[in-house]
């Protein structure tokens, strides 16, 4: 069949276009179309299509092309089992070519002499032969393989698409040239007077017909007929104005299928829908004027777009306002989604508080104008805000002149605001007037009815959002004040460390969090650093945080070591109920030994930055949080030489939805490494280092403040965090060996005398002679108390720092307390004297007993 005979690329492409065009036709029209192209592709003189009749004993002529009626009439009906080429093709189911034989079969089926007939079977979708397609050839020899293949290809495509002859019997072909001519004349008259433009061109693109309406497009018919379409397009300048139009005509003709498109005709600037219909001898063009319908469609589309834009704008604004928390969020949402579509330049929210106007937020206004409006009285004089609040109706003002006419006492406002048109919209919530919002324009602007209705509808959405934002801001302000009251306002000064801290509340929600930090001076120049986090948010959690912070202060004053302090704190949290949990890290830094001991309950470990060393997070796995832990807690001890950093933080600083705890701690380590690296980051040493360190401490606080800001800027995103974050950074300062002096004391009364001698001599060496008399008296009372009520061994230690510290240790665990001695008592006044003479004093327990200490101010 056709598939076995190769076709060249051009022929194959033509056939694809033909069958594509034929797919849009039906019935006899499709058969005639394909027959015509079969004759053309084979170079034949004409052609016929025969289909089986209802009784399947005859083949009926259903289409003919290029054959005179006398010849075609003889083939109107032939025997299905006869000897003609079509009959043999039907019987054999394969192509048959036969030379013409006059008087063939004796049935009148004659062909011109010197011709041949190529018959190709039409095989239906069910595989049965439904008929034959025949082509009359000009020579009495079989057609070339390529021409024969083209006919077989078209027949092979047509056969499966033939209707079932039992349901749709084939209609016999018949034709009368006179009838055709009359029909053509009738069609020509109809086309000439039709309301749409119509013209036709032949295969050489010569114009063959132009009706009245087409003359309006192309010109008079007498000047067009016989000329090519391209000449007409060039004369009208269409090639320049609509450069793609000729190419569309060519594609339609070459494609063989009807095509349509809209074009604006350059001669009259009206829109036409052009339908290009390929016909056997050229192209027919229909042009319908769609200018009015297109305008109506554009108007309808514009109306629909406007409605869709309004709906989308209201939807977007509703979503944005639903997410807006603060007044700033509301103002930004309106500025982003309402001002641009209306071409507005300003938006301001006026809230009524008593008899004054408060500016809750604004954009697009001079700051001086907003400040002048804020707090101004409403008064009894007529103003747009007063009128809107009293009438609850919007006011639209198109120009400055109209504003001045309506509100003569407010004539200075437009110039100060730099605005020329306004929409004053009432803010009504639950029947209450809360204020007025103003959308303004830099130039005079008239808002039509649709725009005014939309703004009036939007004002209701804005009122609800503004009221929510006002309540949120008020509660958020109270929450922040409560949080500030619970956290230390300033960190206490401590000689052993320089500290800086930051607290960053969560960016979501109004409720306060439970993060806290503290710095607590201890005896012996030591200092306690504590940080914690009560799980959850709310007033209850904040109250728990305040109780824990107070408890830590109390327990720290009792000089409990870190592990024991957390044990007692755990008991407190457990007594609060099963729903309360908290993490905590409690550290004690001793500048004498330059070591830090800490314990933690469910809290991240501290970051330790020693001079010249990488950042470390020492310590074991944390114990469970307070409220769920089972003591004892483990204690970790680290050495912190001069200039080391101890960085305490809560999980909100390093953990977020975008990173886990380990990733956040690695990020913190990189940030600290980059921040502290530098030529002057190491500890001081050499002669006079102590004085250099003292000078550095005074400016070290500023550097730690910058470090805190840098850590927050690096680890916390601009939009804030979903959890509270606390940060406490301490730079350690060790006490130099020359500022420490200690002696063992002998048992018995001689110990007090020897202690006074040591104090006198050491203070002379330190240049603190003015403190000698008081220090001797204090030491005498402490040593006497230890000898009388304690047990050995007894030791004395002096520390020089911001103050002078005297410590007397013994092996007894008995805690001394002040007694109020009566007038006749001989003793009991020693500790009263110690309390009166010293700046501070106290007792702490040691591994071997206890230590009573005093501190004197250094001039």
In a domain? residue 170: no
Regarding beta strands 645-649 and 850-857, do their DSSP bridges make them parallel or antiparallel, or are they unpaired?
unpaired
39 and 151 part of one domain: yes
- What percent of the chain lies above the pLDDT cut of 90? 26
- As beta bridge partners, residue 853 has 807, 842
**In sequence order, what DSSP letters do the residues of 547-570 get, joined into one string?**
HHHHHHHHHHHTT--HHHHHHHHH
In a domain? residue 487: no
Sequence-distant (≥ 6) Cβ neighbours of residue 778 within 8 angstroms: 806, 834, 837, 838, 854, 856
pLDDT at 356 over 90: no
In a domain? residue 171: no
In a domain? residue 308: no
Judged by average pLDDT, the poorest of 108-122, 504-518, 658-672, 758-772 is 504-518
pLDDT (tens digit per residue) in 359-382: 988 999 999 999 888 888 876 567
Q: What pLDDT, on a 0 to 100 scale, did the predictor assign at position 686?
A: 40
Q: What is the mean pLDDT of residues 205-234?
A: 82
CA angle (371 as vertex; 366, 350 as ends), nearest 5: 95
498 and 394 part of one domain: no
- Residue 534 near residue 726 (C-beta atoms within 8 A): no
Q: Provide the 3-class DSSP secondary structure of residue 851.
A: strand
At 6, the pLDDT band (50, 70, 90 cuts) reads low
- The CATH number linked to 569 is 3.60.40.10
402 and 462 part of one domain: yes
Neighbours of 27 (CB within 10 A): 13
Q: What pLDDT, on a 0 to 100 scale, did the predictor assign at position 402?
A: 93
672 and 548 part of one domain: yes
- From residue 507, alpha-carbon distances to 511, 655, 806 in Å are 10, 15, 49
Task: Note the Cα 214 to chain centre separation in Å.
Answer: 56
In a domain? residue 662: yes
pLDDT at 106 over 50: no
Q: What pLDDT, on a 0 to 100 scale, did the predictor assign at position 175?
A: 55
- Residue 506 near residue 721 (C-beta atoms within 8 A): yes
Q: What pLDDT, on a 0 to 100 scale, did the predictor assign at position 183?
A: 47
Strand runs labelled E in 538-657: 582-590, 595-601, 607-609, 636-639, 645-649
In a domain? residue 72: yes
- The CATH number linked to 809 is 3.30.565.10
Q: What pLDDT, on a 0 to 100 scale, did the predictor assign at position 92?
A: 92
- From residue 520, alpha-carbon distances to 87, 411, 494 in Å are 116, 62, 8
At 286, the pLDDT band (50, 70, 90 cuts) reads confident
Judged by average pLDDT, the poorest of 208-217, 658-667, 686-695, 717-726 is 686-695
pLDDT at 665 over 70: yes
Sequence-distant (≥ 6) Cβ neighbours of residue 180 within 8 angstroms: none
In a domain? residue 770: yes
Q: What mean pLDDT is reported for the chain? A: 83
728 and 748 part of one domain: no
Asked which of 732, 755, 783 is the last residue of a domain, the reply is 732
- What percent of the chain lies above the pLDDT cut of 70? 87
pLDDT at 277 over 60: yes
573 and 704 part of one domain: yes
417 and 522 part of one domain: no
- Report the C-alpha gap between 594 and 731 in whole angstroms: 12
pLDDT at 102 over 80: no
- The CATH number linked to 100 is 3.30.450.40
At 216, the pLDDT band (50, 70, 90 cuts) reads confident
- Report the C-alpha gap between 681 and 59 in whole angstroms: 109
Q: What pLDDT, on a 0 to 100 scale, did the predictor assign at position 2?
A: 42
385 and 528 part of one domain: no
DSSP state of 115: -
537 and 407 part of one domain: no
133 and 264 part of one domain: no
Asked which of 97, 128, 161 is the last residue of a domain, the reply is 161
pLDDT at 480 over 80: no
- The CATH number linked to 197 is 3.30.450.20
152 and 195 part of one domain: no
Judged by average pLDDT, the poorest of 27-36, 330-339, 525-534 is 27-36
Q: What is the mean pLDDT of residues 680-698?
A: 44
Q: What is the mean pLDDT of residues 750-775?
A: 90
For 816, the domain range is 738-857
Asked which of 98, 129, 161 is the last residue of a domain, the reply is 161
498 and 450 part of one domain: no
Q: What is the mean pLDDT of residues 652-666?
A: 85
pLDDT (tens digit per residue) in 287-322: 888 888 888 888 888 878 877 776 777 788 888 888
Number of domains in the chain: 5
* Residue 737 vs residue 181, higher pLDDT: 737
Within 13 Å of residue 812, how many CA atoms lie on the same side as its CB? 16
In a domain? residue 283: yes
> In 3D, which of 120, 103, 111 has the Cα closest to residue 140?
111
Structure tokens at 233: 């397009």
């Amino acid at each position: 069949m056709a598939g076995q005979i190769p076709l060249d690329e051009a022929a194959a492409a033509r056939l694809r276009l033909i069958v594509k065009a034929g797919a849009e036709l039906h019935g006899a029209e499709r058969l005639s179309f394909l027959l015509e192209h079969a004759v053309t592709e084979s170079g034949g003189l004409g052609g016929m299509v025969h289909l089986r009749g209802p009784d399947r004993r005859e083949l009926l002529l259903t289409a003919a092309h290029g054959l005179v009626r006398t010849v075609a009439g003889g083939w109107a009906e032939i025997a299905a089992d006869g000897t003609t080429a079509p009959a043999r093709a039907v019987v054999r189911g394969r192509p048959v070519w036969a030379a013409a034989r006059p008087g063939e079969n004796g049935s009148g089926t004659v062909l011109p002499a010197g011709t041949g007939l190529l018959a190709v079977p039409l095989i239906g979708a069910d595989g049965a032969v439904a008929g034959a397609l025949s082509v009359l050839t000009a020579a009495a020899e079989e057609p070339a393989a390529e021409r024969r293949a083209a006919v077989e290809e078209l027949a092979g495509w047509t056969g499966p698409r033939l209707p079932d002859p039992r349901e749709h019997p084939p209609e016999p072909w018949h034709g009368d040239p006179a009838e055709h001519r009359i029909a053509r004349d009738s069609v020509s008259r109809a086309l000439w007077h039709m309301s749409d433009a119509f013209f036709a061109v032949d295969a050489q693109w010569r114009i063959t017909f132009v009706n009245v309406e087409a003359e309006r497009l192309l010109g008079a018919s007498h000047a067009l007929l016989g000329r090519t379409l391209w000449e007409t397009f060039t004369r009208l300048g269409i090639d320049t104005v609509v450069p793609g139009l000729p190419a569309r005509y060519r594609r339609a003709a070459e494609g063989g299928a009807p095509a349509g498109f809209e074009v604006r005709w350059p001669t009259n600037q009206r829109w036409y829908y052009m339908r290009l219909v390929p016909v056997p001898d050229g192209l027919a063009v229909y042009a319908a004027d769609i200018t009015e319908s297109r305008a109506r469609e554009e108007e309808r589309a514009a109306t629909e777009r406007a409605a869709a834009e309004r709906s989308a704008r209201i939807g977007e604004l509703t979503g944005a306002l639903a997410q807006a928390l603060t007044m700033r969020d509301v103002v930004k949402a309106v500025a982003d989604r309402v001002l641009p579509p209306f071409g507005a330049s300003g938006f301001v929210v006026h809230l009524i508080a008593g008899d004054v106007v408060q500016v809750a937020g604004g954009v697009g206004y001079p700051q001086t104008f907003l400040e002048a409006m804020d707090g101004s009285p409403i008064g009894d004089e007529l103003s747009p805000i007063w009128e809107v609040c009293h009438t609850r109706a919007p006011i639209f003002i198109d120009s400055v002149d109209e504003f001045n006419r309506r509100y003569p006492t407010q004539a200075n406002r437009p110039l100060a605001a730099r605005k020329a048109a306004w929409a004053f919209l009432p803010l009504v919530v639950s029947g209450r007037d809360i204020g007025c919002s103003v959308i303004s324009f830099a130039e005079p602007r008239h808002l039509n009815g649709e725009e005014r209705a939309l703004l009036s509808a939007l004002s209701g959405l804005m009122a609800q959002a503004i009221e929510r934002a006002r309540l949120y801001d008020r509660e958020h302000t109270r929450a922040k004040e409560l949080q500030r009251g619970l956290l230390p306002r300033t960190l206490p000064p401590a000689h052993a460390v320089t500290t800086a801290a930051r607290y960053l509340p969560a960016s979501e929600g109004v409720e306060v969090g439970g993060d806290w930090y503290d710095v607590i001076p201890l005896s012996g120049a030591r200092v306690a650093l504590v940080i914690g986090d009560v799980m959850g948010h709310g007033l209850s959690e904040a109250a728990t945080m305040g109780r824990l912070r107070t408890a830590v202060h109390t327990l720290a004053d009792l000089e409990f070591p870190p592990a024991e302090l957390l044990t007692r704190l755990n008991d407190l949290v457990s007594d609060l109920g099963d729903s309360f949990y908290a993490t905590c890290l409690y550290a004690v830094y001793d500048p004498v030994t330059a070591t830090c001991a800490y314990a933690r309950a469910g809290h991240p470990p501290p970051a330790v930055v020693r001079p010249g060393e990488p950042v470390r997070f020492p310590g074991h796995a944390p114990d469970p949080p307070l409220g769920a832990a089972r003591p004892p807690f483990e204690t970790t001890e680290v050495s912190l030489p001069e200039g080391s950093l101890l960085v305490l933080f809560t999980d909100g600083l390093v953990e977020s939805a975008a990173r886990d705890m380990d990733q956040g701690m690695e990020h913190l380590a990189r940030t600290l490494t980059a921040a502290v690296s530098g030529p002057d980051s190491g500890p001081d040493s050499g002669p006079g280092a102590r004085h250099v360190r003292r000078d550095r401490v005074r400016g070290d606080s500023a550097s730690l403040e910058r470090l805190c800001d840098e850590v927050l800027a690096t680890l916390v995103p601009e939009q804030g965090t979903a959890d509270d974050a606390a940060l406490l950074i301490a730079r350690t300062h060790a006490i130099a060996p020359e500022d420490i002096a200690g002696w063992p004391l002998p048992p018995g009364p001689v110990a007090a005398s020897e202690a006074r001698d040591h104090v006198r001599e050491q203070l002379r060496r330190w240049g603190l002679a003015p403190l000698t008399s008081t220090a001797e008296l204090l030491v005498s009372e402490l040593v006497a108390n230890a000898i009388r009520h304690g047990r050995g061994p007894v030791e004395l230690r002096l520390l020089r720092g911001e103050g002078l510290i005297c410590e007397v240790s013994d092996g007894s665990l008995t805690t001394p307390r002040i007694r109020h001695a009566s007038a006749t008592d001989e003793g009991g006044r020693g500790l009263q004297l110690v309390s009166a003479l010293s700046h501070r004093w106290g007792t702490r327990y040691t591994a071997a007993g206890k230590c009573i200490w005093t501190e004197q101010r250094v001039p």
